[in-house]
Amino acid sequence: MKAFNDLADFSTEELEALLALAGRLDERPEPTALRGKVLSLLFLSPSLRTLASFQAAMTRLGGGSFVISPDMSIHGLETRPGIVMDGAAAEHIREAVPVIASYGDAIGIRAFAERKNLDRDLADAEFESLVELVDTPYINMESAIGHPCQNLADWKTLDDYDIPANGGKFVLSWAYHPKALPLAVPASTLYTAARRGMDVTVLRPEGFELPEPVTTKAKSAAEASGGSITETDDRVAAMQDAHVIYAKSWASTRHYGDRLNDQELRNALDDWCVDEPWFDNARKDCRFMHCLPVRRGVVVSEAVLDGPRSIVIHEARNRMLAQMAVLHQMLGAES
């Protein structure tokens, strides 16, 4: 495996093999599988789960990792192309990235969306410019538009809780958050649930419609897998008979990159906090998922988050297992 960037790059058989391997590595550890192997971890955006779970994953497979983030570097990293570097930054990403990559057998890179220009973020322009600098296999640890490690972990979580693929009803719901967050998780989660063959409803207020290329890609996956996609702002209709609600906030796509208008639209929507009444017409055992971090009392009520519907801790632990499977296939002897 040369890259783990998007579940769309893998056949269904390949995805099933990764999911099976993730489960097997949980039950039967392989503490020498990646002996002497090194994973470089480059964080251009903050992290907790990804930072911890990748380090743990490499240790469990007998290898190791190192972490670089710009605050560790000499006066930060310059990212702008073609610049005369007579300011504060002493190193350019064009040297830093290939050098960091050269110390590892693979590299994980995180770079959140710039959230200025929607087309640029949809094209994953910054992440693509970074991986172009790398000769080793690489892993997307969340880019402007993708979060494949989260997606694979979520797929495993749905399997673990016996939530049906075909016929399973998956609600991807926008939720209130004081900030305009990236599209990476909602866009790639929509694709993932559709790819799994689920009937997906995107529940969001007006002004927060998912971009057309995101929906088109997911619809194409749904058609191939026997799933479906609908989009609505009608909470009651969306939650009818739902097996799972996946909450996530994201920036207004109507006002993408326009902080003031996004804020004005968002401010009126603080009742979009997932709470027990949302589940009135859902399936009785409807589950609550979220990629974390999550703001309590803002995105979701304490009652839901601390109650039996919530499977967010299991979901977060699956990050480690999913990544172990990816690393094993990318760096293992049989790769």
Which residues in this chain contact its own copies in the complex, by CB under 8 A?
A: 29-32, 35-38, 40, 46-49, 51-53, 55-56, 58-66, 68, 72-75, 78, 82-86, 90-92, 94-96, 98-100, 102-104, 178, 292-298, 302, 305-306, 312-313, 316-317, 320
- Which of residues 2 and 296 has its CB atom nearest to its own copies in the complex? 296
Cα-flanking dihedrals φ and ψ of residue 276, to 5°? -55, -40
- Cβ at position 269, least distance to its own copies in Å: 13
Residue carrying structure tokens 């007579």: 86
Q: Tell me how far CA of residue 303 lies from CA of 17, 24, 113, 240, 276, in angstroms.
A: 36, 34, 32, 20, 7
| Degrees, nearest 5: CA angle 179-184-185 | 85
Q: Tell me how far CA of residue 234 lies from CA of 201, 205, 245, in angstroms.
A: 10, 9, 14
Return the closest-CA partner of residue 49 out of 174, 153, 188, 127.
153
CA 264, chain centre distance (Å)? 27
- Which of residues 30 and 159 has its CB atom nearest to its own copies in the complex? 30
Q: Where in 89-214 does DSSP place strands (E)?
A: 91-92, 106-110, 138-140, 169-174, 199-203
- Cβ at position 47, least distance to its own copies in Å: 8
Return the closest-CA partner of residue 111 out of 130, 98, 93.
130
Q: Are 227 and 270 in contact (CB under 8 A)?
A: no
- Which of residues 32 and 232 has its CB atom nearest to its own copies in the complex? 32
Return the closest-CA partner of residue 185 out of 195, 204, 172.
172
- Cβ at position 19, least distance to its own copies in Å: 19
- Which of residues 62 and 213 has its CB atom nearest to its own copies in the complex? 62
- Which of residues 55 and 225 has its CB atom nearest to its own copies in the complex? 55
- Which of residues 46 and 226 has its CB atom nearest to its own copies in the complex? 46
- Which of residues 47 and 201 has its CB atom nearest to its own copies in the complex? 47
Q: Tell me how far CA of residue 63 lies from CA of 35, 101, 332, 333, in angstroms.
A: 5, 16, 11, 13
- Which of residues 236 and 268 has its CB atom nearest to its own copies in the complex? 268
- Cβ at position 48, least distance to its own copies in Å: 5
257: part of which helix (H) or strand (E)?
none
Return the closest-CA partner of residue 121 out of 230, 232, 250, 267.
250
- Cβ at position 218, least distance to its own copies in Å: 27
- Cβ at position 69, least distance to its own copies in Å: 8
- Cβ at position 259, least distance to its own copies in Å: 17
Residue carrying structure tokens 């058989």: 13
- Cβ at position 177, least distance to its own copies in Å: 9
Q: Where in the chain does DSSP place strands (E)?
A: 3-4, 38-43, 64-68, 77-78, 91-92, 106-110, 138-140, 169-174, 199-203, 228-232, 244-248, 287-289
- Cβ at position 179, least distance to its own copies in Å: 9
- Give the integer Cα–Cα distance in Å for 328 and 333: 8
- Which of residues 109 and 222 has its CB atom nearest to its own copies in the complex? 109
